[in-house]
A and B are shown apart, each in its own frame.
Chain A
Amino acid sequence: MAKLSVKITKKDDKKSVVGTASKSKTVVSKKTEVVEANKAVTKNKLNVIVTVKENNNPVRIVKNVQTVKKTDTRREVEETVIVVPGDLLEDNLNVLAGLGTYRDGSKVYSKYTGLLKKRDHMITVIPLNGVYVPKKGDFVIGEIKSSNFSNWWVDIGTAFNAKLPVMAVPEFIERNADLSKFYKNGDLVFARVDSVTSDPVIPLFMKDRMCRKLYHGRVIDIIPTKVPRLIGREGTMIHLIKDSCKSVINVGQNGRVWVKGGDESLAERAIKMVEMFAYKSGLTDMVSDFLESELKNNKSKVSVSENTKS
């Protein structure tokens, strides 16, 4: 059970004690003994209900500890359970064996080393490693490798290159035009997955406001299953990094992150931190604290990216 730091203020004489409260008895100060501690989440407020014993009389104090962002609240309440392939998750025919699990009779097992998610009557396991598995609509960052009359071939990090048909780009291209004049080998594009079939060659399209060529900058690779964590609930994590580093950042579901401008090096470290600690709760706070302290230290240093030619 997680321990909380709680500041308990006694109304009468304005004394306050600070200590940790947990379900087990904890002596907070010589005079105040915590008998019981519970936390409850209502809307976006985290309340701590502490029963304190004073002079042998139990006194119940409800303390609003903090108003937290939705993202953090959910994380605080959910426990992180790591499972490995073959871990028995449930022995129940009424439970849905979701992604990342498989069923054998009434037993549901994990397929991956990953995070266990139990919601309502469905169990899923989110793998903590693995190659990119394309889904329809995914935004991906790809590199043009070659072209023929009607397609560009794009490396998106899957075993087979994806194809970008001439009809799928916003530019108007004449018959027999030289395709390399529009997208040449080595160009980086932000595109979307058109569809996923049994054909290992994935078709892409770029007729979307967000799709475009990406000039200069650099691409950082992260494990694709960690991309949702990098983006964060409603984009909170990636916006935090963008704003703090003053960088333009595009995130591809294929685990490629394009960074340009601002403090690119700090952005990379923040991105790598999210990748490494993706399984932890309270990650947004951790990254936020890290960025804050780094920016304070770097105030005197010149931003190197201003000196680089792009």
Chain B
Amino acid sequence: MIETNKNYIRQNIAIKRLDGRTYKDFRKLSVETNLIEKAEGSALVTLGETKVLVGVKMDLGTPFPDSGDVGILMTNAERSPIASPEFESGPPNDDTIELARVVDRGIRESGCIDFHKLCIKEGEKVWMVFVDISILNNDGNLFDAAAAGAISALLTAKIPKLNDNGTVNRSEYDGALVVTDLPIMVTTALINGVMVVDPTADEEEVIEGRVHVTSIEAGICAMQKSGSCEFTEEQIMTAIDNSIAMGKELRKQLKKK
């Protein structure tokens, strides 16, 4: 980004952002679910111009040796070059892996999926839930969009039926993937001393660091500080407050689906 523009964003961030928002405003969030029939669950999230598509696939697998009676959740992210000239094709880099793991932590630690219910035969067969995050257009705040997409896709996901011979029948369903809470991630970024919510791609060029906070109704279930910068305790508390406040709002919106 042109240095002049970077300076402009930094200098004005406390008063106004390029798109007219204040530091506490989220862009318009819309979610479309069940658009990929072949997937067990799917959601297309549009946050401003950021577009993230999340698909849920379920498959049979063997449980981990130390937890024979629980199903498995695997979250993967792909930042395809379709979404931005900065994204390179190839195996996920550390940014992409961080995105997948932070979204995963928010879902896993919230307890919203009862993994015991995904056990078919203890020690032998369990359901594996694959959450695949695909970025289609990068205009910033991929973490929150991906997290909203993941939980929306899981909320509307259906468990395939098991045939008598033990194979998966994807044309018939055996109920919904039970999701009892809605973990919502809210990212607050640090720009020139100001804690700013929902940064655009332009703003992400000047952020010093980020705090990702995932909240559920009972409290906070996951957090991540990202970026090579220092945060004061007050700034961390601002990020937590943002997640609680905006989490409530977003949870209401997503529950309506």
A–B in direct contact per CB < 8 Å: yes
Interface flag for B228 (CB, 8 Å): no
A217 touches B8 (CB 8 A): yes
Which of these, A186, A218, A307, contacts B8 with CB under 8 Å? A218
User: Told that A219-B2, A265-B20, A308-B11 touch, could you supply 12 new A-B pairs with CB distance under 8 A?
Assistant: A143-B2, A143-B4, A185-B3, A186-B3, A187-B3, A188-B2, A188-B4, A217-B4, A218-B8, A219-B5, A304-B16, A307-B15
Question: What residues of chain B lie closer than 8 Å to A304, measured between beta carbons?
Answer: 15-16
Q: Please report A residues at the B interface, Cβ cutoff 8 Å.
A: 143, 185-188, 214, 216-219, 258, 265, 304, 307-310
Q: Please report B residues at the A interface, Cβ cutoff 8 Å.
A: 2-5, 7-8, 11-12, 15-16, 20
Question: What residues of chain B lie closer than 8 Å to A310, measured between beta carbons?
Answer: 11
Question: What residues of chain A lie closer than 8 Å to B15, measured between beta carbons?
Answer: 304, 307-308
Most A Cβ at <10 Å: residue of B4, B11, B16, B20: B4
In the complex, A216→B9 CA distance in Å?
11
Check A216/B16 contact, CB under 8 A, given A308-B11, A309-B11.
Answer: no
The distance from the CB of B10 to the nearest CB of chain A, in whole angstroms, is: 11
| Between-chain CB contacts (< 8 Å), 24 pairs | A143-B2, A143-B3, A185-B3, A186-B3, A186-B4, A187-B3, A188-B2, A188-B3, A216-B7, A216-B8, A217-B4, A218-B4, A218-B5, A219-B2, A219-B4, A219-B5, A258-B4, A265-B16, A304-B15, A304-B16, A308-B12, A308-B15, A309-B11, A310-B11
The distance from the CB of B140 to the nearest CB of chain A, in whole angstroms, is: 16
Question: What residues of chain A lie closer than 8 Å to B5, measured between beta carbons?
Answer: 218-219
Residue of A nearest to B8 (CB): A218
In the complex, A29→B70 CA distance in Å?
79
The distance from the CB of B25 to the nearest CB of chain A, in whole angstroms, is: 15
In the complex, A187→B4 CA distance in Å?
8
Question: What residues of chain B lie closer than 8 Å to A308, measured between beta carbons?
Answer: 11-12, 15
Question: What residues of chain A lie closer than 8 Å to B7, measured between beta carbons?
Answer: 216
Residue of B nearest to A184 (CB): B3
Residue of B nearest to A256 (CB): B2
In the complex, A304→B17 CA distance in Å?
11
Question: What residues of chain B lie closer than 8 Å to A214, measured between beta carbons?
Answer: 4
A216 touches B20 (CB 8 A): no
In the complex, A309→B192 CA distance in Å?
14
Question: What residues of chain B lie closer than 8 Å to A307, measured between beta carbons?
Answer: 15
The distance from the CB of A251 to the nearest CB of chain B, in whole angstroms, is: 15
The distance from the CB of B9 to the nearest CB of chain A, in whole angstroms, is: 8
In the complex, A310→B15 CA distance in Å?
14
In the complex, A28→B4 CA distance in Å?
57
In the complex, A185→B3 CA distance in Å?
9
In the complex, A217→B7 CA distance in Å?
9
Residue of A nearest to B20 (CB): A265
In the complex, A31→B61 CA distance in Å?
83
In the complex, A258→B5 CA distance in Å?
10
In the complex, A308→B13 CA distance in Å?
10
Question: What residues of chain B lie closer than 8 Å to A188, measured between beta carbons?
Answer: 2-4
Question: What residues of chain B lie closer than 8 Å to A186, measured between beta carbons?
Answer: 3-4
In the complex, A258→B3 CA distance in Å?
13
Question: What residues of chain B lie closer than 8 Å to A265, measured between beta carbons?
Answer: 16, 20
The distance from the CB of A158 to the nearest CB of chain B, in whole angstroms, is: 15
The distance from the CB of B115 to the nearest CB of chain A, in whole angstroms, is: 48
Residue of B nearest to A220 (CB): B5
The distance from the CB of B23 to the nearest CB of chain A, in whole angstroms, is: 14
In the complex, A187→B15 CA distance in Å?
25
The distance from the CB of A26 to the nearest CB of chain B, in whole angstroms, is: 42
The distance from the CB of B48 to the nearest CB of chain A, in whole angstroms, is: 15
Question: What residues of chain A lie closer than 8 Å to B11, measured between beta carbons?
Answer: 308-310
In the complex, A305→B11 CA distance in Å?
11
In the complex, A7→B8 CA distance in Å?
50
Most B Cβ at <10 Å: residue of A216, A218, A308, A309: A218
In the complex, A214→B3 CA distance in Å?
12
In the complex, A214→B15 CA distance in Å?
23
Question: What residues of chain A lie closer than 8 Å to B3, measured between beta carbons?
Answer: 143, 185-188
The distance from the CB of A249 to the nearest CB of chain B, in whole angstroms, is: 14
Residue of B nearest to A265 (CB): B20
Residue of A nearest to B16 (CB): A304
The distance from the CB of A207 to the nearest CB of chain B, in whole angstroms, is: 23
In the complex, A218→B12 CA distance in Å?
11
Residue of B nearest to A188 (CB): B4
In the complex, A310→B2 CA distance in Å?
17
In the complex, A258→B4 CA distance in Å?
10
The distance from the CB of B177 to the nearest CB of chain A, in whole angstroms, is: 42
The distance from the CB of B37 to the nearest CB of chain A, in whole angstroms, is: 32
